[in-house]
Structures are given as C-alpha cells and as structure tokens.
Amino acid sequence: MSPKWIGFVGFEGVTASNFVVPADIFAAAALDDGYRNRIPCYQICTIGLNPEPFRAGSGMIFKAQETLQTAPDLDTVVIPGGKGLHQPEISEKISDWIVERANRMRRIAAICTGIYGLASTGLLDGREVTTHWRFANDVARRFPKLRLDHKRPLVKDGPFYTSSSLTAAIDLSLDLIEEDYGRHIALSAAQELGTPLTHRNGQHEFWKPCIFDSQPTDRFAELVAWIMRNLNGDLSVNALARRACMSPSHFNRAFKSVFGSTPADFVENLRLNEARRRLSVPKRTLDTIAASVGFSDRDAFRRAFERRFGAKPRNYLSKFGSASMAIHSNGEVAAGSQTPEECLAHESH
C-alpha cells in the first residue's frame, strides 16, 4: 500500500496546536498487516514558506521538511490558523501556491483562521464555509462571496473543508481518515490518541460518526489482516470482492484507489514477503513454503520470488543467509543463530 501524502503548511505566527494536533492524528492512522505491524496510511509532509525555521505564536520553533518550492505532489493539504495569516506577504504566498497546485490536489482543508490563506485564492467563492466565531465578521467583510456560517463546526463543499476550532479540526482529521480508510481506522486513530469523549445516550464513546456525505471504505479496514491469515487460500479478485460485498469491477477500482495497487499485485507482494520470512523457519522445504503462501506451482513461486527480490529462493538464502543457514538437497532449510535480516545488518558494517 502506498500511503497518501498530506501536507501541513507552516509559517511565522502559526497556531502550534493547529499545526501539530491534526498531523499527529493522521500519523496515528495505520493498517495492521496481521502480525501487529503498522502500515501507515499517510505520509506527513511539513511545508515552510522558505527553508528557514518558523516561530509559532506560542514561541515554539519548527523546521519544515520542504518549502513551497520543493514540496512533492500531495493528496491533501491542510492550512492551519494563526495570526501570521493577517500579514499579506504570508497569506499571499500561501494562496499563490495553492492556486498553482490546486488542480493536482484531491482536497484542501483550512483550520480556523487558515481560511484567510484559502479564501484569498478565490477558490471558495460561492461555497459554504465556516471559521472561528471571533473572525467571522472580518472574514465575511473581506470575502463577501463566501457563504459563511460560523455556527457550523465543520463544512465540506466540494474538495474544500473548513473548521471553526481546534476541537472541530480534530473531528475534521478523523472524518478525512474515515473517508479514505473507513470508520474502523478512524476510530483506532482516535483511541490511539485518546481524543475527547462524546456523550451519546448516556454512554461514553470515542469520537462521533463522519458528518460528511461520503462513502467510506470501512469494508477494507481489516481486509489486509484477513488476507494475511488466508495467504494459502483463494485470494482472487472475485473472492476478495465477495468478502467485501462488492462487485468485482467496483472492488477492483475501489481497492486500487485506497491501496495504490491492483488486488493481484498487492496479494502477491504480501505472499512473497511472508515467504521470505518463512525461509528462516527450520526444516521447511521450498515446496512447503510456496504452498503455505498460496503458490500451487513451485516454478511460478520461484519466478515471482526472483522478480520481487532479484534472486531465486535458494540463491537468496545463499547470499543473505549463508552464515546461518544451509539448504539441504531436498530443499529443507536448517536455521542457525542468525536470520537473513541479521546477516544483512552484519554485511552492512
């Protein structure tokens, strides 16, 4: 799976909580590969107006990974609030960059007064938005074409998202995660960070449902773990589509949009990675390993393994595990004191 790139724009006078808290929430969103290993859902990218560190309104100093000029292509961009946006030289740089990049971004979000950097692009004209109540009158005066309602905590209008407070920004982050990966992943991220509890029907529970009109991919939330538990089974597109209660064509499109690869490529990658891990298990023949991860044809397994890792299984062990393993003539593997990964680490010194 390829994580989705999400950029956070920083500047002099940014509100630190607007900048850091949503980033932490996105960083907490992860899938489970079935072995309690986290697969991050997002690649966080902090973006500065220039290469110099910038100081938040609280005095905290940040050093961004990229600048407006060097930032990679991004799926989502978040503009935090902060008093710095009241300075034309800051808001204009951000708005010019957004206009230049807008057609290459899937969505853009503004937190609280982050709307100043987004509204000045003209992209919000005629759209519904919200912002912090204290600045609502000023925003309405400066940008009269906006359909502003500061009483709404979150607003989505097309690819643009606005929030009215830090609390709303937390919910916004979770809602975007739910849109991308489903409620299960969003709820896990909320629980990981211990976000404020919502009272509903006298019960305490984490977070509230997504308020946006979306079609979440929650059915994919545990699919990876299920695939890992069934590597030797039927993992064809038809089988996976049935598991997800979707038509094969719809499943194929939805899967590729979420994971960045076709179901077949994704499954083969998991099978080969697991096969490589099982090579270190004592007294496992190559036939046994191939069958255990879903390859009924040993030759097909060898070809796929070589294509993925650049070496046949036997040669891979000879190269990366010769100090710790021996391959018997019948294909069995005898393990020593080191794994192939440990041998690799040893060779790198």
Least Cα distance to 168 among 115, 91, 221, 98 occurs for 115
**Is 234 found in the same domain as 196?**
no
Question: Distance between CA atoms of 90 and 245, rounded to whole angstroms?
Answer: 48
**Is 228 found in the same domain as 189?**
no
> Is a pLDDT exceeding 70 seen at residue 333?
no
**Is 256 found in the same domain as 133?**
no
> Both tokens of residue 158?
């097309």
Question: Distance between CA atoms of 21 and 145, rounded to whole angstroms?
Answer: 30
Domain finish residue from 163, 181, 206? 206
Q: Which residues pair with 157 in a beta bridge?
A: 160
State the average pLDDT over residues 276-283.
75
Least Cα distance to 78 among 118, 108, 121, 44 occurs for 108
State the average pLDDT over residues 295-309.
88
Q: What pLDDT does residue 198 have? A: 45
Question: Distance between CA atoms of 309 and 332, rounded to whole angstroms?
Answer: 20
State the average pLDDT over residues 23-40.
83
Q: What percent of the chain has a predicted confidence (pLDDT) above 70? A: 80
**Is 133 found in the same domain as 55?**
yes
> Both tokens of residue 84?
């710095």
**Is 324 found in the same domain as 196?**
no
Identify the CATH number of the domain in which residue 264 sits.
1.10.10.60
Identify the CATH number of the domain in which residue 127 sits.
3.40.50.880
Asked if 112 contacts 15 with a C-beta cutoff of 8 angstroms, the reply is yes
Q: What pLDDT does residue 32 have? A: 74
> Is the model's pTM score more than 0.85?
no
**Is 228 found in the same domain as 202?**
no
Q: Which residues pair with 324 in a beta bridge?
A: none
Please tell me whether residue 325 adopts helix, strand or coil conformation. strand
Asked whether residue 92 is domain-assigned, the answer is: yes
Confidence of residue 73 (pLDDT cuts 50, 70, 90): very high
Asked whether residue 213 is domain-assigned, the answer is: no
Confidence of residue 245 (pLDDT cuts 50, 70, 90): confident
**Half-sphere exposure of residue 342: CA atoms within 13 angstroms, side-chain side:** 10
> Is a pLDDT exceeding 80 seen at residue 331?
no
Asked whether residue 215 is domain-assigned, the answer is: no
> Is a pLDDT exceeding 90 seen at residue 276?
no
Amino acid at site 185: I
**Is 148 found in the same domain as 253?**
no
> Is a pLDDT exceeding 60 seen at residue 347?
no
**Is 45 found in the same domain as 114?**
yes
Question: Distance between CA atoms of 219 and 288, rounded to whole angstroms?
Answer: 32
The region, left, alpha or beta by phi > 0 then psi within -120 to 50, assigned to residue 34 is left
What are the two backbone dihedrals, phi and then psi, of residue 323, each rounded to the nearest 5 degrees?
A: -75, -15
> Both tokens of residue 113?
């007064």
Asked if 18 contacts 211 with a C-beta cutoff of 8 angstroms, the reply is no
Least Cα distance to 8 among 50, 53, 84, 66 occurs for 66
Least Cα distance to 174 among 204, 148, 212 occurs for 212
Q: What percent of the chain has a predicted confidence (pLDDT) above 90? A: 52
**Is 228 found in the same domain as 155?**
no
Domain finish residue from 206, 230, 245? 206
What crossing angle do the helices spanning 298-309 and 263-278 adopt, rounded to 10°?
90
Q: What average pLDDT does the chain have?
A: 82
Highest mean pLDDT among 33-42, 155-164, 211-220, 277-286: 155-164
**Is 240 found in the same domain as 178?**
no
Mean pLDDT lowest among 5-14, 39-48, 143-152, 254-263: 254-263
State the average pLDDT over residues 24-42.
84
Asked whether residue 216 is domain-assigned, the answer is: no
Q: What pLDDT does residue 34 have? A: 60
Q: How many domains does the chain have?
A: 2
What are the two backbone dihedrals, phi and then psi, of residue 157, each rounded to the nearest 5 degrees?
A: -140, 105
> Is a pLDDT exceeding 60 seen at residue 216?
no
Q: What is the CA radius of gyration of the chain?
A: 25
State the average pLDDT over residues 84-105.
95
Q: What pLDDT does residue 282 have? A: 67
Asked whether residue 97 is domain-assigned, the answer is: yes
Asked whether residue 319 is domain-assigned, the answer is: yes
**Is 189 found in the same domain as 46?**
yes
Mean pLDDT lowest among 125-129, 175-179, 209-213, 275-279: 209-213
State the average pLDDT over residues 308-337.
53
Q: What pLDDT does residue 184 have? A: 80
Question: Distance between CA atoms of 196 and 207, rounded to whole angstroms?
Answer: 7
Asked whether residue 35 is domain-assigned, the answer is: yes
**Is 139 found in the same domain as 258?**
no
Asked if 187 contacts 206 with a C-beta cutoff of 8 angstroms, the reply is yes
State the average pLDDT over residues 67-85.
97
What are the two backbone dihedrals, phi and then psi, of residue 69, each rounded to the nearest 5 degrees?
A: -80, -30
Q: The domain containing residue 75 runs over which residues? A: 4-206
Q: What pLDDT does residue 269 have? A: 87
Asked whether residue 304 is domain-assigned, the answer is: yes
Domain finish residue from 206, 234, 256? 206
